Structures are given as C-alpha cells and as structure tokens.
C-alpha cells in the first residue's frame, strides 16, 4: 500500500492516474478460476485499484450475482512494479465454469465511487474471459447431466424389460397354440384311422351278402333251367308218342 505522511494522507484523490495499456483474462490451467494480467502505468499498491468481473449474455434470477469487484491486493500473484500485474480469481458464486464473463479495471474516485480506469494509447480496459466457459462444466451442470443420464438409463431398462416380457408371453402363447394345433391334427388322424378300419369291414360284409345273394340266384336259375328242360323233354316225349300212335 502507499505510505503517505502528513496532510496528504487525508486526501482521497490519487496524486497519480493509473493507466491501462492491456488486459488479458483466461481460465487457469486447472480450470479452477481465471488468471488476469495487466500492463500499464502508475499501477501502484494504494488500495485504489479493483478488478470488476461481469456476467454477460446470460439471464439472471433476482438473487443471482451479475458483477463483483476484487481489490487487486487481494487477488495479486505478482506485482513487482507499477507497470505489470498478474492476479488469480478462484471459482466462487460468480466465477463459474460454463458462464461467460468479462473483466475490467476500476479505480476509486474522490467520492468513494468506482469508475473505469483510464486507457493509454490504443489500449483496452475490458476483456472477455477466454477458455473458461469451454472446458468442463459447473458442478450443477454435471449433477443435472448425471440425473438426466440416470433417468434415461432407467427408462431404457424399463422399456427393455417390457419388450422382453411381451416377447416371452407371445412366445408362450404361440407355443401353446402350436401344441393345440398338433393335438387337433393327431385327433383327426386317429379318427381317420378308425374310420379306415371300419370301412373295409362294412365293405367285406356287403361283399359276402352280395355273394350269398348271387349263390341263391344261381341255384334258383339252375332249378328253373332244370324244370324247363324237364318240361321240354316231357313235351318232346309226348310229341314222339303221339306221332307213333298216329302211324
């Protein structure tokens, strides 16, 4: 911090003007926060410089933090002179992976308010944080993804169980129907077999009856033939007898 003695110690206005030449901000190696580097002039340790981190391009709820100031002295990593400075801001309620952030340098004014630090030449005092919103996800996002994966996996397992149950039930039904059809076919075959055995018996019985009928008919016809021949012989005899008697 600046050590000012005498009456100047009560002055709130800086006797120097910090000027920013360039600023860079990016996610650190372990992606646990962001690293900031400053280059400029009159960057003294007087408790009057702050890093302002701003949440950008993302709607926030009423209780969400959209910006936050960090005193340079609290986040400084190296600050060996008044022209270069490096800081590290760890992940907190604002600095989170998966959100878009920007960083600027603020200075304290005479009335205690803060304003953007002056820029020298073609420098800049506002930069977007790089490589922090692209690698990894926040804890909340990871938990949400895990929950979704578990729900989807459970749903898939339930669907598979239902499909397997349906296929098993259908297979049993088809097997039962196939067995019933086979039993019906066997009954039909057995019925036809019994019918085939009875038919020849009836046919044989009919043949025997017809044969006996023919035998009776032949005997009757033979007897009639014999009677007819006897009648003819008798007639021939009478004719012969009458002829002899007439002579």
pLDDT of residue 87: 93
Please tell me the pTM assigned to this model. 0.48
State the DSSP string of the chain.
Answer: -----GGGGG--S-SS--EEEEEEEEE-TTSSEEEEEEEEE----SS-EEEEEEE-SS---TTS--EEEEEHHHHEEE--SSSEEEEEEE--SSS-TTS-EEEEEEEE-TTS-EEEPEE-TT--SEEEPBSSSSSS--HHHHHHHHHHHHHHHHHHHHHHHHHHHHHHHHHHHHHHHHHHHHHHHHHHHHHHHHHHHHHHHHHHHHHHHHHHHHHHHHHHHHHHHHHHHHHHHHHHHHHHHHHHHH-
pLDDT of residue 1: 44
| CA gyration radius, the chain | 61
pLDDT tens-digit series, residues 151-205: 999 999 999 999 999 999 888 888 888 888 877 777 777 776 655 554 445 545 5
Q: Comparing 102 with 139, which gets the higher pLDDT?
A: 102
The answer, yes or no, to whether residue 146 has pLDDT greater than 80, is yes
Q: Comparing 104 with 216, which gets the higher pLDDT?
A: 104
Question: How buried is residue 48: exposed, middle or buried, by Cβ count under 10 Å (0-12/13-18/19+)?
Answer: buried
């Amino acid at each position: 911090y600046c050590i000012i003695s005498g009456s100047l110690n009560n002055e709130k206005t800086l006797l120097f003007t910090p000027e920013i030449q360039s600023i860079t901000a990016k996610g650190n190696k372990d992606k646990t926060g962001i690293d900031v580097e400053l280059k400029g002039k009159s960057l003294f340790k007087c408790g009057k410089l702050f890093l302002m981190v701003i949440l950008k391009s993302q709607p926030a709820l009423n209780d969400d933090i959209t910006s936050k100031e960090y005193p340079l002295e609290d986040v400084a990593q190296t600050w060996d002179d008044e022209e270069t400075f490096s800081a590290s801001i760890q992940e907190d309620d604002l600095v989170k992976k998966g959100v878009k952030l920007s960083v600027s340098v603020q200075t304290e004014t005479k009335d205690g308010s803060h304003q953007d630090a002056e820029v020298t030449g073609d420098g800049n005092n506002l930069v977007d944080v790089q490589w922090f919103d692209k690698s990894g996800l926040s804890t909340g996002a990871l938990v949400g993804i895990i929950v979704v994966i578990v729900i989807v996996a459970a749903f898939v397992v339930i669907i598979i169980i239902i499909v397997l149950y349906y296929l098993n039930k259908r297979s049993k039904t088809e097997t039962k129907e196939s067995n019933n059809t086979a039993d019906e076919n066997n009954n039909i075959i057995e019925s036809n077999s019994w019918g085939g055995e009875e038919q020849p018996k009836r046919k044989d019985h009919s043949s025997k009856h017809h044969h006996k009928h023919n035998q009776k008919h032949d005997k009757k016809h033979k007897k009639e033939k014999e009677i007819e021949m006897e009648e003819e012989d008798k007639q021939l005899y009478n004719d012969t007898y009458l002829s002899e008697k007439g002579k």
